[in-house]
Amino acid sequence: MLFNLIPIDEDKVIKAVERASRFVVSVNTITLVSDFLFHSMPVSGLGSGIVFSSEGYIVTNNHVISNARKVSVTLFNGRVQEGTIVGSDVLTDVAVVKVPKSDLTAAEFYDSDMLKVGQFVLALGNPFGLAGGPTVTAGVISALKRRIQAQGGPLIEDLIQTDAAINPGNSGGPLVNLEGQVVAMSTAIIPYAQGIGFAITSNTIKRVTDEIIRYGRVIRPWLGINGIDMNRGIAEYYNLAVDFGVLVVSVVSGSPADYAGLNEGDIIVQVDKERVLSLSDLLKQLWKRRAGEEVALRVIRGEREFISKARLAESPIS
């Protein structure tokens, strides 16, 4: 149906799939669960993954490998290799698995900050490791900067929304553009939303994966506030000075924000020289820093505007 509505170069799609197929893998897991008599039973799980580097690093979803006792990876050529979990990050649903180096073709990652709504994308996955390559579905980017509440898990920020079908088992597979470059990694579907799927941006994947490879975990800088996006409705209702930025709802005791003198009701509108329009903007700016770095926050409190300096700490949430 989509191809009837949007003129697409079929040869370009085919070449993109051929290019991407070489870095799409199948991730198979064994997890032990207990029955009602507390007998342990092995349960198999299936997902997909992306070759992050030719050194054997595979990136997939945290929920694909969570609690796994054993992980194996089926490569493009059908070879199965045992994998070891390097680390994972619950807050972004990203995990890294290592397999022995074997001349793997690594994915090329597109700058996801350049993505536009309406851009054509292909979703690939290979949960069964079957011959003939991965499954492919097509669609467009239908929204950017989405946030969803993972089932029983944290709120995941800055996601891409797409109507390209993301089937169960394709979690961890790539969303690619017509050049075969990874723009995102599939993470979730909403079954009651007519096939709307969500994917983690390529820039998030690169940042998180680099940290996991280097440290075995993500060392996330922490300010220590709970905040919400400012908007015109909130500004008018509470008679606030601006309708953009982050409204501080609460400040964690003993946090960098607490030591910097931030209070409930303050509005953060700038980090160093970067304007902050929303909570997503604030998190993005903080993520560019490291724990221990000092940041200058431009804050509006009532009719007063001032600069508050905070030294970021390591997040207590891993």
DSSP state letters, 271-309: ETTEE--SHHHHHHHHHTS-TT-EEEEEEEETTEEEEEE
Token output for 175: 């969303």
Q: Are 70 and 105 in contact (CB under 8 A)?
A: no
The pLDDT of residue 43 is: 63
Kindly list the catalytic residues: 63, 93, 171
| 79 Cβ neighbours under 8 A, 6+ residues apart | 102
Cα 281 from Cα 91, distance rounded (Å): 17
Helices (H), ranges, 22-130: 62-65
CA distances, 221 to each of 181, 214, 311 (Å): 29, 16, 10
The pLDDT of residue 69 is: 87
The pLDDT of residue 3 is: 47
How buried is residue 252: exposed, middle or buried, by Cβ count under 10 Å (0-12/13-18/19+)?
Answer: middle
Q: What predicted TM-score, i.e. pTM, was given to this entire model? A: 0.79
The pLDDT of residue 140 is: 94
Domains of the chain, by residue range, sit at 1-216, 221-314
CA distances, 141 to each of 10, 95, 265, 290 (Å): 19, 24, 35, 31
Superfamily of domain 221-314: PDZ domain (2.30.42.10)
The pLDDT of residue 284 is: 82
Spans in the chain with pLDDT lower than 50: 1, 3-4, 39
What's the topology of domain 1-216? Thrombin, subunit H (2.40.10)
Candidates 182, 61, 66, 192; CA nearest to 127 is: 61
